[in-house]
Amino acid sequence: MATTAEALRGRAPREEKFRVCPATGLRIHIAAQTLIKANAVVAVIFLAIGGLFGLMVALTRWQAVHLLPAEWFYMILTAHGLDVLLVWIIFFEVAVLYFASTVLLNSRLATPRLAWVAFALMLIGALIVNVTVLEGESSVMFTSYPPMQAAPNFYLGLILFAVGALVACFIFFGTLVIAREEGTYEGSIPLVTFGALTAAIIAVYTLVSGAIILVPTWLWSLGLISHIDPLMYKLVWWGMGHSSQQINVSAHVAIWYLIIAVVLGGKPLSEKVSRGAFLLYIFFLQLAAAHHLLAEPGLSSNWKIFNTSYAMYLAVLGSMIHGLTVPGAVEAAQRRRGYTNGIFEWLRRAPWDNPAFSAMFLSLVMFGFLGGISGVVLGTEQLNLMLHNTLYVPGHFHATVVTGTTLAFMGVTYLVIPLIFQREVMWPQVAKWQPYVFGAGAAGISLFMMGAGTLGVARRHWDITFTDAYLSFDYPATAFLMLGLNGLSAILAAAGGIMYVAVTVASILFGKPATAETFSQGRMIAPCGPQVATTYGSAGTWHLPGTYVLVGVFFGAFVLYYFVNWKYLSELWPLG
């Protein structure tokens, strides 16, 4: 590795430009800063486009509105999945990787020029996919299950995007090597960088899986390969499809820790425990491709049970650990700041009007309660029979990816604007309410889709009244109510999304330059807290009754909901 670093260092010009952050004192590499900005801006643009598509989908599902005709619905739904699940999130994650490896390590970025190549590949790939889908011949959904076939450019665009993202991951790894070689930091990498490293390692596995399946599928669409086995495709494709969501989990957990550190001066309760939890992600999260194969013929129950449970729920264990240590870090920081009365003064007096903090905490709670619990239920071999391919599935992953990842990314944006773009956040009142509006809308989307799914409503379905079908079927009236409420929630979420994009774009273009004064007066972001306790795990700092109550409530809800679903299952027709 040393030789690689030397080679990279040898090639790099010595007169790298840096600036010193007035808030944190960290050295920021200008070339890296420009790349962080570019990736973040493109991410937000695709969030706006994909979010608009999502609103159109929800308004079509609302049977009383039924906005789009069928062809359009399936086309827009395909584009929605690609733009938000893939393009928005991966672009933002690349920005996070560059941030965690340069700013947090005081380091320069390895090969900025190659990083621009990666950026261009991803952007070109994303544009090709969008144009191809909107031409109308590739309405194959995000998953593009064969033998259904899209136009060759659909797969080509995805391959280019994946290659670009893979290059970005390796630039991140290269930067870690350079930072260590050049001694830009002391000791081990910070926890946030460790979380980003977890995300990058999972990303390599993810993107390689994607390449393994998308390259032959592309050749198949060109007529060069005669057959793609649908079951094999699903197995490998979900090595990308599900693992890419595990990149999100690692990235947004890292961002939770980042926001706590910057806003509250909080620190992890135990470096060992938090890093151990990330390590569990690296070892076990990738088994989750099985979540999508539980209702499939041709795979044994032994295989399904071992893989769907991440080898006895060891990755769930990782998330449950973060579920204690993240709120625990908030409570510990708040108690150090003097909010020590009762069980919950620390929570009541938290900076709820700081959008970075409120977005982080809402993301934490909703990811755990809505996304986490529903994910485990959905991924249980037998319970999946009641839920497979119903609207429960999008309900679940909107809870993880929208209320979890997207909300966390929105929160950190309010720190990125002053720290990286060096602008003050405009319209503080709008920014203050934005996480609540978006969070409420996204929670509604998740809950009402899960509700409709529990009633059996199919996902990816244009018309649940079956008007044009030869044989009729009526879903219960409650299902229609659920989809109406889903539509209203989508409008609310769209309002929150517009608030986010408006504040972000306006601040970047027209915001007042952020100076040392901005930070010292705590405008938009609270000053870093006092650096008190110096040792971990001492009984004096480790009194966190509020966190224990929260975790207890979570655990109770989890156990109850889990067994209620087994009760429902036991009422179905006997099968075997």
Partner 1 sequence: MAIRPPEQRVWWNEPVERGELVWIGIAFLWGLVMFFMMVWWHFTGEQNLSNEAYRISPDDFATRTETMAEAHTVREEGDTGYPVVHPPPGSDVYMLARLWEWWPILELEKGQSYRLHLSSMDWQHGFSLQPENINIQVHPGYELVMQVTPDEAGEFSVVCNEYCGIGHHTMVGKIYVVEPGQGGAAAAAEGG
Subset of residues 394 to 453 that bind partner 1, contact rule: CB under 8 A: none
- Identify the CA nearest to 252 among candidates 109, 406, 399: 406
Residues from 224 through 243 that contact partner 1 (CB under 8 A): 229-231
Total binding residues toward partner 1, as defined by CB under 8 A: 110
Coil, strand, or helix at residue 283? helix
Residue 294 binding partner 1, by CB under 8 A: yes
Among 21, 114, 321, 506, binds partner 1 (CB under 8 A): 321
Give me 204's structure tokens.
């390599």
Residue 344 binding partner 1, by CB under 8 A: no
Burial-class residue 443 by CB neighbours within 10 Å (0-12, 13-18, 19+). Answer: buried
Smallest separation (angstroms) from partner 1 to the CB of 13: 27
Q: Per CB under 8 A, which region of 54-62, 313-321, 349-357, 493-501 contacts partner 1?
A: 313-321
Give me 481's structure tokens.
């109510």
Smallest separation (angstroms) from partner 1 to the CB of 381: 5
Smallest separation (angstroms) from partner 1 to the CB of 529: 9
CA distance 294 to 308: 8
> What single letter denotes the amino acid at residue 503?
V
Provide the Cα torsion 42, 44, 45, 47; round to 10°.
120
Residue whose CB is less far from partner 1, 92 or 554: 554
The residue behind tokens 């040898």 is 10
Coil, strand, or helix at residue 458? strand
Smallest separation (angstroms) from partner 1 to the CB of 551: 6
Tell which phi-psi region holds residue 457, choosing left (phi > 0), alpha (psi between -120 and 50) or beta.
beta
CA distance 58 to 79: 14
Q: What's the residue count for the chain? A: 576
Query: How do strand 18-20 and strand 27-29 relate by DSSP bridges?
Result: antiparallel
CA distance 462 to 473: 14
CA distance 393 to 516: 47
DSSP conformation class of 481? H
Residue 320 binding partner 1, by CB under 8 A: yes
Among 120, 222, 553, 559, binds partner 1 (CB under 8 A): 559
CA distance 192 to 198: 10
Residues from 120 through 149 that contact partner 1 (CB under 8 A): 139, 141, 145, 147-148
Residue 509 binding partner 1, by CB under 8 A: no
Q: Per CB under 8 A, which region of 27-35, 86-94, 125-133, 555-563 contacts partner 1?
A: 555-563
Site string for partner 1, 171-190 (x = CB under 8 A): --------------xxxxxx
Among 13, 297, 540, 567, binds partner 1 (CB under 8 A): 297
Type and span of the H or E element at 374: helix 373-378
Residue whose CB is less far from partner 1, 267 or 423: 267
Residue 151 binding partner 1, by CB under 8 A: no
Between the alpha carbon of residue 381 and those of residues 286, 308, 455, the distances in Å are: 17, 7, 19
Contacts of 364 by beta carbon, 8 Å cutoff, 6+ apart = 256, 323, 326, 327
Residue spans of alpha helices (H) in 379-424: 384-387, 392-398, 407-419
Residue 322 binding partner 1, by CB under 8 A: no
Among 2, 20, 64, 469, binds partner 1 (CB under 8 A): 469
Among 388, 396, 423, 432, binds partner 1 (CB under 8 A): 388
- Identify the CA nearest to 145 among candidates 238, 244, 230: 230
Residue whose CB is less far from partner 1, 167 or 449: 449
Residue 542 binding partner 1, by CB under 8 A: yes
Residues from 42 through 71 that contact partner 1 (CB under 8 A): 70-71
Among 4, 34, 63, 389, binds partner 1 (CB under 8 A): 389
Sign of the CA dihedral running 554, 558, 561, 564: negative
Residue whose CB is less far from partner 1, 429 or 531: 531
CA distance 322 to 72: 41
Among 555, 556, 557, 560, binds partner 1 (CB under 8 A): 555
Smallest separation (angstroms) from partner 1 to the CB of 293: 8
Residues from 248 through 277 that contact partner 1 (CB under 8 A): 257-258, 260-262, 265-275
Q: What are 20's strand-pairing partners?
A: 27
Residue 569 binding partner 1, by CB under 8 A: yes
Q: Per CB under 8 A, which region of 42-50, 199-207, 298-306, 364-372 contacts partner 1?
A: 298-306
8 Å CB contact between 374 and 396? yes
Smallest separation (angstroms) from partner 1 to the CB of 230: 5
Smallest separation (angstroms) from partner 1 to the CB of 574: 4
Residues from 104 through 123 that contact partner 1 (CB under 8 A): 104
End-to-end CA distance of the chain: 54
Between the alpha carbon of residue 39 and those of residues 122, 164, 564, the distances in Å are: 10, 12, 44
Residues from 357 through 376 that contact partner 1 (CB under 8 A): 376
Smallest separation (angstroms) from partner 1 to the CB of 384: 8
Smallest separation (angstroms) from partner 1 to the CB of 196: 11
Residue 527 binding partner 1, by CB under 8 A: no
Smallest separation (angstroms) from partner 1 to the CB of 296: 5
Query: For the chain, how long is the longest CA-to-CA vector?
Result: 73
Smallest separation (angstroms) from partner 1 to the CB of 49: 22
Residue whose CB is less far from partner 1, 111 or 454: 454
